[in-house]
Structure 1
Amino acid sequence: MNNTMEIATTETRNVSEKANGNIWRDILGSPRYVVAPMVDASELAWRLLCRRHGSHLCYTPMLHSSVFCRDPKYRREALASCPEDRPLIVQFCGNDPKILLEAALLAEPYCEAIDINLGCPQAIAKRGHYGAFLQDDWELLKNIVSTLSQGLKIPVTCKLRIFPEISKTIDYARMLEDAGAAMLTVHGRTRDQKGPLTGLASWEHIKAVRAHVKVPMFANGNIQTVQDADRCMQETNVEGVMTAEGNLYNPFIFEGCYPPAWEPALEYLDLVERYPAPSSYIRGHLFKLFQHILCLPGNEEERGNLARNSTMESFRGVVEALRARYLPYHEGCLSWDPQSSDYNLKLPPWLCQPYVRDSPQEHLNKIEAKKMEQVNNMVKKDYKDEDGNEISRKRSKKLRRIARRPNRQDSVKRSSDLCTDCPNPLGFKCEYKLCRQCCRKKCFRENLDCPGHRNLTKTRRQIAIEFAVKRQDIDSVK
């Protein structure tokens, strides 16, 4: 009994110490610039690249807690790290407190904190009931956060998305804080803001939450440059900012520079040589780094090579080819004419720079305009033949089909193209100049074969006879 009380007292003391301490200052070293957890993107090699260029703290990719517990290979690859890769926060997704705790205990020796993903808005998170789709089940979230907070020696943090209402978002954040979260990362978008409907994040929500919680906070959303990061910290009073997409298109974002894309690409490939990553990860990073170049005319071959090949040699070949093509422009040996492309860019396309989406309203307007154009074309389109005479839409489609395949025989059959026994078209490979049905009947009646129609009656009968003979031999042996 006394031992049990001593253990309980020790656990309470550990929880109390974690609650009273400041994880941002005392454990993480006061990071201001943070690289977000990104599925298939924030692997070790990429984290090291970012740390070398201004990032103070990195997260692992989102890890599935149940897979992490049962699969040693998944666990080993997910926890790949090195002394340079610290401080580090491991992020898990899941909806079972016991499984999440089991996974967190396995990862505890390799990181400074465990983060619970409450922000993933994708369809796979909805099917698995995790990420942002847990934000409606507050009792479950209280259980998850309190279970991990009490069961771990390191702090527990949460990354969450906002509700449309500021007051509900504040209550949500305070609930997580009261449950034991030592730090919060607030993404200023709702779970419906994703893909082409992403839009701008609400710093107003983030500022309101910061004013009502006591634990340290990171802000996430609208961070495309280091100036955005500094302005966000000033406006919202958060301790640091986190970026995902801005980092993928420019891993030097926190240094405040826009390097030519081949510089981070080659440095990243050198790191991959030391700390291997799946080819899909490498390909994804290179596509984003060279996003603006690969969209220009003349780079189709490099784009195709990057998409098709999966070797380090092929990846380096693409980078070196693009470097050789655009380095003279970068060094001023050749002049770049921005009018030579369809792009209206403030920066030349070979420099790393943010990817700017259309606003949700612009995206919806384009979809509506496209639908109206299709409707108008169907209603108003005039169909004419070669002589300019109006014809039906069905006739026009037939004429276009004939134009595409001029060597195809006309659909109007001549008498010589018809079966000799019936008015159906004959099979041109038929040995007896019959249609399929008539050929089948003839082969059956006369014990013939027609390879053209694959009516192999004689062969089938021979197989049946041989099978019957074998069956008789087996029966006689018995």
Structure 2
Amino acid sequence: MSSYSYFFFTVFLMILFFFDFHIRNIVDMASEHPGFEYWRNVLKNAKHVLAPMVDASELAWRILSRRYGAELCYTPMLHASVFVNDSKYRKQNLASCSEDRPLIVQIKTQLNVHDSNNIIRSNITLWRFCANNPETFAKACTLAAPHCDGVDINLGCPQAIARKGHYGAFLMEEWTLISDMIRHAKEKVSIPISAKIRVFSDLEKTIQYAKMLESAGVMLLTVHGRTRDQKGPLTGVANWDYIKAVREAVNIPVFANGNIQYLSDVEKCLEFTGVQGVMSAEGNLHNPAIFVGESPPVWRMALEYLDLVKLYPCHLSYSRGHIFKLLHHVFNMEENFDLRYRMSKSSTIDTMIEVTRSLEGRMQDYYTGAKEWHPKEGSLVSNLPLKPWLCQPYVRMDAEDYKNKLAESPEKSSRKERM
């Protein structure tokens, strides 16, 4: 073969390879579920996700979290019928700003156990609602749609109030009902619908559950790798194997939730499960800088948050809850018990700022190293992974240890059984 022939043959092969590569890409994109386009183009490839949290993922906290790496945020749960009928409530809970996107609203709908037609349980990207009939839910979605990037159905709440209202994780066995609810909502609104679930103890049932939701029309699925019974002191460890299995079984984007205490956990979870994003709830509440891998001094985060609350007001109970989570460990230092008491009695944001600044002044020498810190052996702060004045995870007692402790106390065990 002459050099010219060899040259043209090589060019011909390169052209074939080029067209084959692009044709394959076009075919792959054509067959790809639209949920991936939604995740890429609307949710901006979000990998770091702030979870929907009751009384906790309000606007001020969302903005703080976004400043420290959260790429997508969910609103707290809202009551759909109140949202539809009360314009003041609606205005308060649609509060947002240019920094606050992309955003998913979570809508909750309760099942009237006496009338299976009166159901709608859902979580929306941007706000969460609760409603007791499909029309109310659809109307709430319609009102929220111009202000958010999606609606998320809450199928994961394991709390006693969800059991009583028959919603959240207590709808896990009612697949036909869930499917009908999603299909009805999709007929009424064009905004993408997603869902957040917990896992069954049986892996195959969990996979089939996820596939059912995909078939019903959800565009994105968040899997909390714990069962309905894993909550409170019995929270235990989330099962990433189940999340991985769901991700491999469905053709829609999946977010993982559970076991996220540090940025390194986020990276490990993404690699192990293959999910598109990782959601943080409790980890974020104790360290809003979790997604940038930092552990700032707690007063810095608290003061920045309180400044945001002045810009974007919320119920004082929300702010107090955030501050006590941020300052949890440092308030367990005996020398700060007085400040903890003062904070508990605070009735204004200015007072909370004043107490936080007092804490900063008291802890500054420890933080800079000008003063040595020697924790009392056996104290609540003696075995922390970091110094108590730094943002860090709240580590729960092991579930088995809690069960053993409960067994040793008949009174506590009896109270647990009643709950």
Q: TM-score, normalised by structure 2?
A: 0.83
Is residue 223 from structure 1 mapped to residue 260 from structure 2 by the alignment? Answer: yes
Is the CA contact (8 Å cut-off) linking 1:97 and 1:143 kept in structure 2? no
TM-fit CA distance, 1:74: 1.9
Amino acid at match of 1:227: S
Partner of 1:45: 60
Letter of the aligned partner of 2:345 in structure 1? R
Alpha-carbon separation, structure 2, partners of 1:112 and 1:64: 19
Per-residue Cα deviation, 1:368-421 (whole angstroms, up to 9, x for no partner): 2344999xxxxxxxxxxxxxxxxxxxxxxxxxxxxxxxxxxxxxxxxxxxxxxx
Whether the 8 Å contact between 1:23 and 1:216 is mirrored in structure 2 is no
SS of the residue corresponding to residue 189 of structure 1 reads coil
- In structure 1, C-alpha distance between the alignment counterparts of 2:350 and 2:378, rounded to whole Å: 30
Unaligned runs of 5+ in 1: 1-15, 375-478
Give, in whole Å, the separation in 2 of the partners of 1:294 and 1:372: 29
Amino acid at match of 1:82: C
Unaligned runs of 5+ in 2: 1-30, 110-119, 121-132, 414-419
Change (3 A) 1:301 1:372: closer
Say whether 1:284 aligns with 2:299: no
In the superposition, relative to structure 1, how do residues 43 and 103 fare at CA in structure 2: closer, same or farther (>3 Å)? same
Instruction: Tell whether the 8 Å contact from 1:18 to 1:155 is kept in structure 2 after alignment.
Output: no
2:117 corresponds to: none
Deviations 1:416-462 (A, max 9, x none): xxxxxxxxxxxxxxxxxxxxxxxxxxxxxxxxxxxxxxxxxxxxxxx
After superposition, the Cα gap between the structure-2 partners of 1:341 and 1:319, relative to the gap in structure 1 and judged at 3 Å, is farther
Number of aligned residue pairs: give it: 359
Cα displacement (A) at 1:218: 0.2
Q: Which residue of 1 is the match for residue 176 of structure 2?
A: 139
Q: 1:298 aligns with which of 335, 341, 362?
A: 335
8 Å contact from structure 2 (residues 33, 252) kept in 1: no
Whether 1:68 and 2:83 are equivalent positions in the alignment is yes
Quick check: 1:348 aligned with 2:348?
no
Q: Percent identity?
A: 52
Q: Is the Cα contact below 8 Å between 1:36 and 1:244 reproduced in 2?
A: yes
Tell me the distance in 2 between the aligned counterparts of 1:365 and 1:222: 22
Q: How does 1:236-315 map to 2 (within 5 A)?
A: 236-315=273-352
Shift of 1:253: 0.3
Structure 2: how far apart are the matches of 1:346 and 1:162?
A: 30
Q: 1:197 aligns with which of 205, 222, 234?
A: 234
DSSP-derived class of the 1:89 partner:
strand
In the TM superposition, 1:264-413 aligns within 5 A as 264-339=301-376, 342=379, 343-371=382-410
CA shift for structure 1 position 251 = 0.2
Partner SS state of residue 334, structure 2:
coil
Letter of the 2:153 partner, please give it: I
Superposition deviation, residue 264 in structure 1: 0.7
Deviation at 1:106, TM superposition (A): 0.7
Shift of 1:19: 4.2
Change (3 A) 1:184 1:321: same
2:206 — aligned with what? Answer: 169
Q: Provide the rounded CA distance (Å) in 2 between the counterparts of 1:148 and 1:134.
A: 17
Letter in 2 for 1:107: A
2-structure distance, mates of 1:373, 1:185: 34
CA distance in 1, matches of 2:220, 2:186: 12
Q: 1:21 to 1:227 in 2, by over 3 A?
A: closer
Please name the residue that 1:34 is paired with: 49
List per-residue Cα deviations over 1:337-395 (Å, max 9, x = no partner): 13466121231100010000011110011122344999xxxxxxxxxxxxxxxxxxxxx
**Distance in 2 separating the partners of 1:142 and 1:372:** 42
Counterpart residue identity of residue 101, structure 1: A
**How far does the alpha carbon of each residue in 1:24-55 deviate from its partner, in whole angstroms, 9 at most, with x for none?**
11211100000000000000000000001111
The answer to whether the Cα contact below 8 Å between 1:44 and 1:81 also exists between their aligned partners in 2 is yes
What corresponds to 1:214 in structure 2? 251
Q: CA deviation at 1:64?
A: 2.0
Do the aligned partners of residues 17 and 215 (structure 1) sit closer, same or farther apart at CA in structure 2, a change above 3 Å counting?
A: closer
Looking at CA atoms only, which structure, 1 or 2, has the larger radius of gyration?
1
SS in 2 for 1:338: coil
With over 3 angstroms needed to count, the CA separation of the structure-2 counterparts of 1:87 and 1:373, relative to structure 1, is closer
* Aligned partners of 1:22 and 1:216 also within 8 Å: no
Alignment correspondent of 2:5: none
Greater RCO between the two (CA within 8 Å, min separation 6)?
Answer: 2
Residues of 2 paired with 1:18 and 1:101: CA distance? 24
Quickly say closer, same or farther: Cα 1:324–1:139, change in 2 above 3 A.
Answer: same
Q: Tell me if structure 2 keeps the 8 A contact 1:261–1:351.
A: yes
CA–CA distance in structure 2, aligned partners of residues 328 and 86 of structure 1: 39
Shift of 1:183: 0.3
Question: Which letter maps to 2:45?
Answer: S
The alpha-carbon deviation at position 56 of structure 1 amounts to: 0.5
246-255 or 317-326: bigger deviation: 317-326
2:160 is aligned with 1:110: no
| Amino acid in the other structure paired with 2:289 | F
TM-score by length of 1: 0.73
Q: Distance in 2 between matches of 1:373 and 1:353?
A: 29
1:25 aligns with 2:40: yes
Whether contact under 8 Å (2:35, 2:253) holds in the other structure is no
- Structure 1 residue 298 displacement after superposition: 2.3
CA distance in 1, matches of 2:301, 2:378: 25
Greater CA deviation, 34-43 or 16-25?
16-25
Q: Counterparts of 1:315 and 1:18 in 2: how far apart (Å)?
A: 48
Following the alignment from structure 2 to structure 1, what is the Cα–Cα distance between the partners of residues 35 and 158? 32
Distance 1:215 1:71 in 2: 35
